[in-house]
Structure 1
Amino acid sequence: MRDDGLDRAIDAAGGVAQLARKIGISQPSVSNWAKVPAQRVIAVEAATGIPRTELRPDLFGGRGLSEGTVEPVDAARAQEYALLATLLSAPPSRKLLDQLATLTGDATPVGSAHAVLAEAASAAVPAQIEREYFDLFVGLGRGELLPYASYYLTGFLNERPLSRLRADLSASGIERVANNFEPEDHASILCEIMAGFAEGRFEASSDKQRAFFEKHVSSWMGRLFADLESAENARFYRAVGALGRLFIGIETEAFTFAN
Protein backbone atom coordinates (compact mmCIF):
# COMPACT_ATOMS: atom_id res chain seq x y z
CA MET A 1 0.00 0.00 0.00
CA ARG A 2 1.41 3.38 -1.01
CA ASP A 3 1.78 6.14 1.55
CA ASP A 4 0.32 9.60 1.02
CA GLY A 5 3.61 11.20 -0.04
CA LEU A 6 4.18 8.70 -2.83
CA ASP A 7 0.57 8.99 -4.00
CA ARG A 8 0.92 12.77 -4.22
CA ALA A 9 4.15 12.45 -6.21
CA ILE A 10 2.59 10.01 -8.67
CA ASP A 11 -0.45 12.26 -9.14
CA ALA A 12 1.75 15.33 -9.66
CA ALA A 13 3.89 13.52 -12.24
CA GLY A 14 0.86 12.23 -14.15
CA GLY A 15 1.22 8.57 -13.26
CA VAL A 16 3.76 5.93 -12.34
CA ALA A 17 5.29 5.77 -15.82
CA GLN A 18 5.72 9.53 -15.99
CA LEU A 19 7.32 9.69 -12.54
CA ALA A 20 9.73 6.90 -13.47
CA ARG A 21 10.68 8.66 -16.70
CA LYS A 22 11.21 12.01 -14.98
CA ILE A 23 13.67 10.59 -12.45
CA GLY A 24 15.37 8.21 -14.86
CA ILE A 25 14.47 4.78 -13.47
CA SER A 26 12.28 1.90 -14.64
CA GLN A 27 8.51 1.88 -14.20
CA PRO A 28 8.52 -1.47 -12.27
CA SER A 29 10.89 0.05 -9.72
CA VAL A 30 8.43 2.84 -8.92
CA SER A 31 5.51 0.39 -8.99
CA ASN A 32 7.19 -1.61 -6.24
CA TRP A 33 7.60 1.36 -3.89
CA ALA A 34 5.47 1.63 -0.76
CA LYS A 35 6.98 5.07 -0.10
CA VAL A 36 9.60 7.22 -1.77
CA PRO A 37 13.03 5.73 -0.97
CA ALA A 38 15.30 8.08 0.96
CA GLN A 39 17.85 8.19 -1.85
CA ARG A 40 15.16 9.26 -4.34
CA VAL A 41 13.50 12.02 -2.30
CA ILE A 42 15.43 14.92 -3.82
CA ALA A 43 14.94 13.68 -7.37
CA VAL A 44 11.21 13.15 -6.82
CA GLU A 45 10.93 16.58 -5.20
CA ALA A 46 12.62 18.17 -8.20
CA ALA A 47 10.50 16.22 -10.69
CA THR A 48 7.13 16.81 -9.03
CA GLY A 49 7.44 19.93 -6.88
CA ILE A 50 6.16 18.01 -3.84
CA PRO A 51 8.38 19.09 -0.91
CA ARG A 52 10.49 16.49 0.83
CA THR A 53 8.71 17.22 4.12
CA GLU A 54 5.55 15.81 2.52
CA LEU A 55 7.24 13.01 0.57
CA ARG A 56 9.01 11.62 3.64
CA PRO A 57 7.89 13.40 6.83
CA ASP A 58 9.56 10.63 8.83
CA LEU A 59 12.93 11.80 7.49
CA PHE A 60 12.41 15.52 6.95
CA GLY A 61 9.43 16.52 9.08
CA GLY A 62 9.76 18.06 12.52
CA ARG A 63 13.54 18.29 12.36
CA GLY A 64 16.25 20.82 11.75
CA LEU A 65 14.80 24.07 10.43
CA SER A 66 11.29 23.43 11.69
CA GLU A 67 12.47 23.23 15.30
CA GLY A 68 13.59 26.83 15.24
CA THR A 69 16.90 25.88 16.85
CA VAL A 70 19.06 26.58 13.82
CA GLU A 71 20.82 29.91 13.51
CA PRO A 72 19.38 32.10 10.70
CA VAL A 73 22.66 32.04 8.78
CA ASP A 74 22.82 28.24 8.92
CA ALA A 75 19.15 28.00 7.94
CA ALA A 76 19.88 30.15 4.87
CA ARG A 77 22.93 28.03 4.05
CA ALA A 78 20.88 24.85 4.33
CA GLN A 79 18.21 26.24 2.00
CA GLU A 80 20.83 27.26 -0.58
CA TYR A 81 22.51 23.87 -0.50
CA ALA A 82 19.14 22.11 -0.70
CA LEU A 83 18.15 24.19 -3.72
CA LEU A 84 21.38 23.33 -5.52
CA ALA A 85 21.02 19.65 -4.58
CA THR A 86 17.49 19.60 -5.97
CA LEU A 87 18.41 21.25 -9.27
CA LEU A 88 21.46 19.02 -9.76
CA SER A 89 19.62 15.78 -9.00
CA ALA A 90 16.86 16.05 -11.62
CA PRO A 91 15.24 18.56 -13.98
CA PRO A 92 12.77 20.79 -12.13
CA SER A 93 9.03 20.30 -12.42
CA ARG A 94 6.62 23.01 -13.54
CA LYS A 95 5.61 23.52 -9.91
CA LEU A 96 9.20 24.00 -8.81
CA LEU A 97 9.85 26.38 -11.70
CA ASP A 98 6.84 28.43 -10.61
CA GLN A 99 8.26 28.55 -7.09
CA LEU A 100 11.68 29.60 -8.38
CA ALA A 101 10.08 32.35 -10.46
CA THR A 102 8.95 34.01 -7.22
CA LEU A 103 12.49 34.33 -5.85
CA THR A 104 13.37 37.92 -5.06
CA GLY A 105 16.84 39.38 -5.39
CA ASP A 106 18.76 42.06 -3.53
CA ALA A 107 21.98 44.01 -3.98
CA THR A 108 24.25 41.15 -2.93
CA PRO A 109 25.88 38.88 -5.54
CA VAL A 110 23.78 35.90 -4.42
CA GLY A 111 20.66 38.09 -4.41
CA SER A 112 21.39 39.10 -7.98
CA ALA A 113 21.93 35.43 -8.89
CA HIS A 114 18.55 34.59 -7.35
CA ALA A 115 16.93 37.27 -9.52
CA VAL A 116 18.57 35.83 -12.65
CA LEU A 117 17.45 32.31 -11.68
CA ALA A 118 13.90 33.58 -11.12
CA GLU A 119 13.88 35.19 -14.56
CA ALA A 120 15.20 31.98 -16.16
CA ALA A 121 12.57 29.91 -14.34
CA SER A 122 9.73 32.21 -15.42
CA ALA A 123 10.68 31.77 -19.08
CA ALA A 124 11.45 28.04 -18.87
CA VAL A 125 9.53 25.22 -20.54
CA PRO A 126 9.69 21.96 -18.52
CA ALA A 127 10.12 19.70 -21.55
CA GLN A 128 13.03 21.81 -22.81
CA ILE A 129 14.71 21.75 -19.40
CA GLU A 130 14.34 17.98 -19.25
CA ARG A 131 16.24 17.78 -22.54
CA GLU A 132 18.78 20.31 -21.32
CA TYR A 133 19.38 18.31 -18.14
CA PHE A 134 19.76 15.12 -20.17
CA ASP A 135 22.31 16.71 -22.51
CA LEU A 136 24.26 18.26 -19.66
CA PHE A 137 24.41 15.42 -17.13
CA VAL A 138 23.25 12.16 -18.76
CA GLY A 139 23.69 12.09 -22.53
CA LEU A 140 24.02 9.15 -24.87
CA GLY A 141 26.96 7.49 -23.20
CA ARG A 142 27.78 10.54 -21.08
CA GLY A 143 26.65 14.12 -20.66
CA GLU A 144 28.57 17.28 -21.42
CA LEU A 145 29.51 17.51 -17.73
CA LEU A 146 30.36 14.80 -15.20
CA PRO A 147 29.37 16.23 -11.78
CA TYR A 148 31.54 13.93 -9.67
CA ALA A 149 34.43 14.80 -7.36
CA SER A 150 36.51 11.86 -8.62
CA TYR A 151 36.29 13.07 -12.20
CA TYR A 152 37.15 16.68 -11.42
CA LEU A 153 40.03 15.77 -9.11
CA THR A 154 41.56 12.83 -11.01
CA GLY A 155 40.03 12.79 -14.50
CA PHE A 156 38.41 9.40 -13.83
CA LEU A 157 35.26 8.15 -12.11
CA ASN A 158 35.16 6.10 -8.90
CA GLU A 159 38.70 6.99 -7.86
CA ARG A 160 40.34 7.77 -4.52
CA PRO A 161 38.27 10.91 -3.80
CA LEU A 162 35.18 8.69 -3.70
CA SER A 163 36.81 6.12 -1.39
CA ARG A 164 37.99 8.90 0.95
CA LEU A 165 34.51 10.40 0.97
CA ARG A 166 32.95 7.04 1.80
CA ALA A 167 35.36 6.60 4.70
CA ASP A 168 34.48 10.04 6.09
CA LEU A 169 30.74 9.43 5.68
CA SER A 170 31.06 6.12 7.49
CA ALA A 171 32.97 7.80 10.33
CA SER A 172 30.15 10.37 10.59
CA GLY A 173 27.48 7.68 10.69
CA ILE A 174 26.05 8.71 7.31
CA GLU A 175 25.23 5.48 5.52
CA ARG A 176 24.76 4.76 1.84
CA VAL A 177 21.14 3.88 1.16
CA ALA A 178 20.49 0.51 -0.44
CA ASN A 179 19.69 0.56 -4.18
CA ASN A 180 21.15 4.03 -4.64
CA PHE A 181 23.31 3.59 -7.71
CA GLU A 182 24.61 7.18 -7.89
CA PRO A 183 28.13 7.49 -6.40
CA GLU A 184 28.26 9.56 -3.23
CA ASP A 185 30.64 12.08 -4.80
CA HIS A 186 27.89 13.38 -7.11
CA ALA A 187 27.51 17.14 -6.59
CA SER A 188 23.82 16.85 -5.66
CA ILE A 189 24.57 14.33 -2.89
CA LEU A 190 27.38 16.45 -1.49
CA CYS A 191 25.13 19.52 -1.47
CA GLU A 192 22.46 17.50 0.32
CA ILE A 193 25.01 16.40 2.95
CA MET A 194 26.13 20.00 3.48
CA ALA A 195 22.47 21.02 3.87
CA GLY A 196 22.09 18.28 6.48
CA PHE A 197 25.11 19.58 8.37
CA ALA A 198 23.88 23.18 8.26
CA GLU A 199 20.36 22.41 9.50
CA GLY A 200 21.45 19.89 12.13
CA ARG A 201 20.02 16.81 10.43
CA PHE A 202 23.53 15.35 10.50
CA GLU A 203 25.53 16.10 13.63
CA ALA A 204 28.71 18.03 12.90
CA SER A 205 30.64 20.75 14.68
CA SER A 206 31.66 23.86 12.74
CA ASP A 207 35.20 22.48 12.53
CA LYS A 208 33.91 19.18 11.16
CA GLN A 209 31.77 20.98 8.59
CA ARG A 210 34.74 23.06 7.51
CA ALA A 211 36.99 20.02 7.17
CA PHE A 212 34.36 18.16 5.12
CA PHE A 213 33.73 21.18 2.90
CA GLU A 214 37.42 21.78 2.22
CA LYS A 215 38.17 18.13 1.55
CA HIS A 216 35.14 17.12 -0.51
CA VAL A 217 33.43 20.26 -1.85
CA SER A 218 35.55 23.39 -2.29
CA SER A 219 38.36 21.46 -3.94
CA TRP A 220 36.32 21.04 -7.12
CA MET A 221 32.66 22.10 -7.03
CA GLY A 222 33.31 25.74 -7.85
CA ARG A 223 34.90 24.57 -11.11
CA LEU A 224 31.87 22.43 -11.89
CA PHE A 225 29.53 25.39 -11.49
CA ALA A 226 31.83 27.60 -13.58
CA ASP A 227 31.80 24.93 -16.30
CA LEU A 228 28.02 24.79 -16.06
CA GLU A 229 27.83 28.54 -16.65
CA SER A 230 29.70 28.20 -19.93
CA ALA A 231 28.41 24.77 -21.04
CA GLU A 232 27.26 24.57 -24.64
CA ASN A 233 23.96 22.93 -23.71
CA ALA A 234 23.20 25.18 -20.72
CA ARG A 235 20.41 27.71 -20.90
CA PHE A 236 18.33 27.56 -17.73
CA TYR A 237 21.22 25.80 -16.01
CA ARG A 238 23.56 28.68 -16.79
CA ALA A 239 21.76 30.58 -14.03
CA VAL A 240 22.13 27.57 -11.72
CA GLY A 241 25.87 27.52 -12.45
CA ALA A 242 26.22 31.22 -11.62
CA LEU A 243 24.37 30.81 -8.31
CA GLY A 244 26.38 27.73 -7.37
CA ARG A 245 29.73 29.34 -8.20
CA LEU A 246 28.93 32.41 -6.12
CA PHE A 247 27.61 30.43 -3.19
CA ILE A 248 30.56 28.03 -3.05
CA GLY A 249 32.87 31.06 -3.17
CA ILE A 250 31.05 32.63 -0.22
CA GLU A 251 31.20 29.37 1.74
CA THR A 252 34.94 29.10 1.02
CA GLU A 253 35.56 32.62 2.33
CA ALA A 254 33.37 32.07 5.38
CA PHE A 255 35.09 28.83 6.39
CA THR A 256 38.51 30.43 5.82
CA PHE A 257 37.57 33.39 8.00
CA ALA A 258 36.17 31.12 10.72
CA ASN A 259 39.35 29.07 10.68
Structure 2
Amino acid sequence: MRDAGLERAIDAAGGVAELARKIGIAQPSVSNWNRVPAQRVIAVEGATGVSRKVLRPDLYSEPAAPDDAVDPTDAARAQEYALLATLLSSAPSAALLEQIAQLHGDATPLGRAHATLAEAASVAAVSEVEREYFDLFVGLGRGELLPYASYYLTGFLHERPLSRLRDDLAALGIERVESNFEPEDHAATLCEIMAGLAVARFPVPTEAQRTFFEKHVSRWMGRLFADMEKAENAKFYRSVGTLGRNFLEIESEAFTFVN
Protein backbone atom coordinates (compact mmCIF):
# COMPACT_ATOMS: atom_id res chain seq x y z
CA MET A 1 0.00 0.00 0.00
CA ARG A 2 1.39 3.40 -0.98
CA ASP A 3 1.97 6.00 1.71
CA ALA A 4 0.44 9.47 1.58
CA GLY A 5 3.57 11.20 0.29
CA LEU A 6 3.92 8.88 -2.69
CA GLU A 7 0.22 9.19 -3.49
CA ARG A 8 0.51 12.99 -3.55
CA ALA A 9 3.53 12.80 -5.85
CA ILE A 10 1.72 10.47 -8.26
CA ASP A 11 -1.34 12.74 -8.30
CA ALA A 12 0.82 15.83 -8.88
CA ALA A 13 2.68 14.15 -11.75
CA GLY A 14 -0.49 12.92 -13.40
CA GLY A 15 -0.10 9.21 -12.75
CA VAL A 16 2.53 6.55 -12.19
CA ALA A 17 3.72 6.50 -15.79
CA GLU A 18 4.11 10.26 -15.89
CA LEU A 19 6.03 10.33 -12.60
CA ALA A 20 8.39 7.65 -13.89
CA ARG A 21 8.93 9.59 -17.10
CA LYS A 22 9.63 12.85 -15.28
CA ILE A 23 12.35 11.34 -13.09
CA GLY A 24 13.81 9.18 -15.84
CA ILE A 25 13.16 5.64 -14.59
CA ALA A 26 11.01 2.71 -15.74
CA GLN A 27 7.30 2.68 -14.85
CA PRO A 28 7.44 -0.76 -13.12
CA SER A 29 9.99 0.63 -10.66
CA VAL A 30 7.58 3.32 -9.49
CA SER A 31 4.68 0.86 -9.50
CA ASN A 32 6.57 -1.27 -6.98
CA TRP A 33 7.19 1.57 -4.53
CA ASN A 34 5.35 1.71 -1.21
CA ARG A 35 7.00 5.05 -0.49
CA VAL A 36 9.53 7.25 -2.29
CA PRO A 37 13.02 5.74 -1.89
CA ALA A 38 15.46 8.00 -0.07
CA GLN A 39 17.69 8.35 -3.12
CA ARG A 40 14.74 9.50 -5.27
CA VAL A 41 13.29 12.13 -2.92
CA ILE A 42 15.11 15.10 -4.48
CA ALA A 43 14.19 14.05 -8.02
CA VAL A 44 10.53 13.45 -7.13
CA GLU A 45 10.35 16.78 -5.31
CA GLY A 46 11.79 18.57 -8.31
CA ALA A 47 9.50 16.79 -10.75
CA THR A 48 6.26 17.22 -8.79
CA GLY A 49 6.69 20.18 -6.46
CA VAL A 50 5.70 18.00 -3.51
CA SER A 51 7.95 18.87 -0.56
CA ARG A 52 10.52 16.34 0.63
CA LYS A 53 9.00 16.78 4.10
CA VAL A 54 5.73 15.41 2.70
CA LEU A 55 7.39 12.72 0.62
CA ARG A 56 9.56 11.35 3.43
CA PRO A 57 8.70 12.94 6.80
CA ASP A 58 10.82 10.28 8.52
CA LEU A 59 13.92 11.71 6.81
CA TYR A 60 13.20 15.41 6.50
CA SER A 61 10.69 16.58 9.10
CA GLU A 62 13.13 17.31 11.90
CA PRO A 63 16.55 18.90 11.46
CA ALA A 64 19.46 17.24 13.22
CA ALA A 65 20.06 20.44 15.19
CA PRO A 66 17.35 22.55 16.89
CA ASP A 67 16.09 25.47 14.81
CA ASP A 68 17.67 28.03 17.14
CA ALA A 69 21.02 26.22 16.89
CA VAL A 70 21.29 26.66 13.10
CA ASP A 71 22.90 29.92 12.07
CA PRO A 72 20.66 31.86 9.63
CA THR A 73 23.53 32.10 7.16
CA ASP A 74 24.01 28.33 7.23
CA ALA A 75 20.26 27.82 6.79
CA ALA A 76 20.35 30.09 3.72
CA ARG A 77 23.38 28.22 2.37
CA ALA A 78 21.55 24.93 2.80
CA GLN A 79 18.59 26.31 0.83
CA GLU A 80 20.87 27.34 -2.04
CA TYR A 81 22.49 23.90 -2.12
CA ALA A 82 19.10 22.18 -1.93
CA LEU A 83 17.76 24.24 -4.82
CA LEU A 84 20.79 23.42 -6.96
CA ALA A 85 20.52 19.73 -6.01
CA THR A 86 16.88 19.67 -7.06
CA LEU A 87 17.50 21.37 -10.41
CA LEU A 88 20.49 19.15 -11.18
CA SER A 89 18.70 15.92 -10.31
CA SER A 90 15.72 16.39 -12.64
CA ALA A 91 13.80 18.96 -14.67
CA PRO A 92 11.63 21.20 -12.45
CA SER A 93 7.87 20.76 -12.30
CA ALA A 94 5.41 23.56 -13.00
CA ALA A 95 4.93 24.00 -9.25
CA LEU A 96 8.66 24.38 -8.65
CA LEU A 97 9.01 26.84 -11.53
CA GLU A 98 6.25 28.92 -9.94
CA GLN A 99 8.12 28.91 -6.64
CA ILE A 100 11.41 29.88 -8.28
CA ALA A 101 9.66 32.73 -10.10
CA GLN A 102 8.95 34.27 -6.68
CA LEU A 103 12.65 34.60 -5.80
CA HIS A 104 13.80 38.15 -5.07
CA GLY A 105 17.10 39.65 -6.08
CA ASP A 106 19.33 42.50 -4.96
CA ALA A 107 22.38 44.39 -6.21
CA THR A 108 24.89 41.68 -5.29
CA PRO A 109 26.09 39.16 -7.91
CA LEU A 110 24.17 36.39 -6.14
CA GLY A 111 21.10 38.60 -5.86
CA ARG A 112 21.23 39.38 -9.57
CA ALA A 113 21.58 35.64 -10.26
CA HIS A 114 18.44 35.02 -8.20
CA ALA A 115 16.55 37.66 -10.17
CA THR A 116 17.71 36.22 -13.50
CA LEU A 117 16.68 32.72 -12.46
CA ALA A 118 13.29 33.98 -11.30
CA GLU A 119 12.72 35.73 -14.63
CA ALA A 120 13.74 32.59 -16.55
CA ALA A 121 11.34 30.48 -14.47
CA SER A 122 8.47 32.91 -14.99
CA VAL A 123 8.56 32.46 -18.78
CA ALA A 124 9.66 28.81 -18.95
CA ALA A 125 7.37 26.11 -20.31
CA VAL A 126 7.57 22.81 -18.45
CA SER A 127 7.83 20.71 -21.61
CA GLU A 128 10.64 22.88 -22.97
CA VAL A 129 12.62 22.72 -19.72
CA GLU A 130 12.18 18.94 -19.62
CA ARG A 131 13.59 18.69 -23.12
CA GLU A 132 16.40 21.06 -22.21
CA TYR A 133 17.30 18.95 -19.17
CA PHE A 134 17.31 15.81 -21.31
CA ASP A 135 19.57 17.37 -23.95
CA LEU A 136 21.96 18.77 -21.34
CA PHE A 137 22.31 15.88 -18.90
CA VAL A 138 20.87 12.71 -20.47
CA GLY A 139 20.85 12.79 -24.25
CA LEU A 140 20.84 9.94 -26.74
CA GLY A 141 23.95 8.17 -25.53
CA ARG A 142 25.11 11.10 -23.40
CA GLY A 143 24.11 14.67 -22.71
CA GLU A 144 25.99 17.82 -23.59
CA LEU A 145 27.25 18.02 -20.00
CA LEU A 146 28.43 15.25 -17.69
CA PRO A 147 27.89 16.52 -14.12
CA TYR A 148 30.32 14.15 -12.38
CA ALA A 149 33.48 14.94 -10.44
CA SER A 150 35.37 12.05 -12.04
CA TYR A 151 34.69 13.36 -15.53
CA TYR A 152 35.70 16.94 -14.76
CA LEU A 153 38.84 15.94 -12.87
CA THR A 154 40.08 13.07 -15.05
CA GLY A 155 38.09 13.12 -18.30
CA PHE A 156 36.55 9.74 -17.51
CA LEU A 157 33.69 8.40 -15.38
CA HIS A 158 34.07 6.15 -12.33
CA GLU A 159 37.68 7.18 -11.73
CA ARG A 160 39.77 7.91 -8.63
CA PRO A 161 37.77 10.99 -7.50
CA LEU A 162 34.70 8.76 -7.08
CA SER A 163 36.72 6.22 -5.09
CA ARG A 164 38.09 8.94 -2.80
CA LEU A 165 34.61 10.36 -2.33
CA ARG A 166 33.26 6.95 -1.34
CA ASP A 167 36.06 6.55 1.19
CA ASP A 168 35.29 9.94 2.74
CA LEU A 169 31.54 9.29 2.82
CA ALA A 170 32.18 6.01 4.62
CA ALA A 171 34.42 7.78 7.13
CA LEU A 172 31.67 10.36 7.76
CA GLY A 173 29.03 7.66 8.15
CA ILE A 174 27.05 8.86 5.12
CA GLU A 175 25.81 5.72 3.42
CA ARG A 176 24.82 5.16 -0.18
CA VAL A 177 21.43 3.56 -0.73
CA GLU A 178 22.05 0.25 -2.48
CA SER A 179 19.25 0.74 -5.02
CA ASN A 180 20.67 4.09 -6.15
CA PHE A 181 22.65 3.40 -9.32
CA GLU A 182 23.75 7.01 -9.88
CA PRO A 183 27.45 7.50 -8.96
CA GLU A 184 27.87 9.50 -5.76
CA ASP A 185 30.04 12.11 -7.48
CA HIS A 186 27.02 13.51 -9.37
CA ALA A 187 26.74 17.25 -8.74
CA ALA A 188 23.18 16.91 -7.41
CA THR A 189 24.25 14.38 -4.78
CA LEU A 190 27.20 16.51 -3.68
CA CYS A 191 24.97 19.60 -3.36
CA GLU A 192 22.50 17.60 -1.28
CA ILE A 193 25.30 16.44 1.01
CA MET A 194 26.56 20.02 1.40
CA ALA A 195 23.02 21.13 2.30
CA GLY A 196 22.94 18.50 5.04
CA LEU A 197 26.37 19.48 6.32
CA ALA A 198 25.41 23.17 6.43
CA VAL A 199 22.57 22.55 8.91
CA ALA A 200 24.31 19.72 10.80
CA ARG A 201 21.91 17.08 9.54
CA PHE A 202 24.80 14.63 9.54
CA PRO A 203 26.58 13.92 12.85
CA VAL A 204 30.07 14.88 11.70
CA PRO A 205 32.77 17.25 13.04
CA THR A 206 32.39 20.93 12.12
CA GLU A 207 35.67 20.87 10.20
CA ALA A 208 34.30 18.14 7.92
CA GLN A 209 32.16 20.64 6.01
CA ARG A 210 35.12 22.74 4.80
CA THR A 211 37.21 19.64 4.07
CA PHE A 212 34.43 18.02 2.06
CA PHE A 213 33.81 21.20 0.06
CA GLU A 214 37.48 21.65 -0.80
CA LYS A 215 38.09 18.00 -1.72
CA HIS A 216 34.91 17.16 -3.60
CA VAL A 217 33.12 20.34 -4.69
CA SER A 218 35.32 23.40 -5.23
CA ARG A 219 37.88 21.63 -7.43
CA TRP A 220 35.45 21.15 -10.31
CA MET A 221 31.84 22.15 -9.83
CA GLY A 222 32.40 25.81 -10.66
CA ARG A 223 33.58 24.69 -14.11
CA LEU A 224 30.40 22.66 -14.54
CA PHE A 225 28.27 25.73 -13.84
CA ALA A 226 30.41 27.87 -16.14
CA ASP A 227 29.98 25.28 -18.90
CA MET A 228 26.24 25.32 -18.22
CA GLU A 229 26.15 29.07 -18.80
CA LYS A 230 27.52 28.69 -22.33
CA ALA A 231 26.07 25.29 -23.25
CA GLU A 232 24.43 25.14 -26.67
CA ASN A 233 21.24 23.52 -25.33
CA ALA A 234 20.94 25.74 -22.24
CA LYS A 235 18.22 28.33 -21.92
CA PHE A 236 16.59 28.08 -18.50
CA TYR A 237 19.64 26.19 -17.23
CA ARG A 238 21.93 29.02 -18.30
CA SER A 239 20.55 30.98 -15.36
CA VAL A 240 21.00 27.93 -13.11
CA GLY A 241 24.66 27.91 -14.15
CA THR A 242 25.03 31.58 -13.26
CA LEU A 243 23.47 31.02 -9.86
CA GLY A 244 25.65 27.99 -9.14
CA ARG A 245 28.86 29.68 -10.25
CA ASN A 246 28.22 32.80 -8.15
CA PHE A 247 27.21 30.79 -5.10
CA LEU A 248 30.30 28.57 -5.23
CA GLU A 249 32.55 31.61 -5.57
CA ILE A 250 31.04 32.97 -2.35
CA GLU A 251 31.42 29.60 -0.65
CA SER A 252 35.09 29.37 -1.67
CA GLU A 253 35.81 32.87 -0.34
CA ALA A 254 33.98 32.14 2.90
CA PHE A 255 35.88 28.92 3.56
CA THR A 256 39.17 30.68 2.74
CA PHE A 257 38.31 33.39 5.26
CA VAL A 258 37.56 30.74 7.90
CA ASN A 259 40.93 29.17 7.23
Sort the TM-score into its range (normalised by shorter chain): over 0.9
**Quick one: distance in 1 between partners of 2:201 and 2:145?**
30
Q: How does 1:197-236 map to 2 (within 5 A)?
A: 197-236=197-236
- Deviation string 1:104-129 (CA, Å, 9 cap, x unpaired) is 11111111100000000000000000
| Aligned match of 1:138 | 138
Q: Does 1:14 pair with 2:11?
A: no
**Quick one: distance in 2 between partners of 1:154 and 1:40?**
27
- The answer to whether the Cα contact below 8 Å between 1:42 and 1:52 also exists between their aligned partners in 2 is yes
- Deviation string 1:169-219 (CA, Å, 9 cap, x unpaired) is 000000010210100000000000000000111123332111110000000
- 1:66 Cα deviation after fit: 7.0
Aligned residues: 259
**Quick one: distance in 1 between partners of 2:51 and 2:5?**
9
Structure 1 gap ranges (5+): none
| Aligned match of 1:106 | 106
| Aligned match of 1:55 | 55
- The answer to whether the Cα contact below 8 Å between 1:23 and 1:44 also exists between their aligned partners in 2 is yes
| Aligned match of 1:238 | 238
- 1:68 Cα deviation after fit: 3.4
- The answer to whether the Cα contact below 8 Å between 1:222 and 1:245 also exists between their aligned partners in 2 is yes
* Secondary structure in 2 matching 1:245: helix
Q: Which moved more, 1:239-248 or 1:194-203?
A: 194-203
Segments ≥4 residues shifted beyond 6 Å: none
- Deviation string 1:114-150 (CA, Å, 9 cap, x unpaired) is 0000000000000000000000000000000000000
Q: How does 1:164-183 map to 2 (within 5 A)?
A: 164-183=164-183
**Quick one: distance in 2 between partners of 1:246 and 1:110?**
6
**Quick one: distance in 2 between partners of 1:203 and 1:244?**
26
**Quick one: distance in 1 between partners of 2:250 and 2:8?**
36
- Deviation string 1:49-91 (CA, Å, 9 cap, x unpaired) is 0010110000000224773321001000000000000000000
| Aligned match of 1:247 | 247
* Secondary structure in 1 matching 2:215: helix
Percent identity of equivalent pairs? 73
Structure 2 gap ranges (5+): none
**Aligned-residue CA RMSD (Å):** 1.0
* Secondary structure in 1 matching 2:88: helix
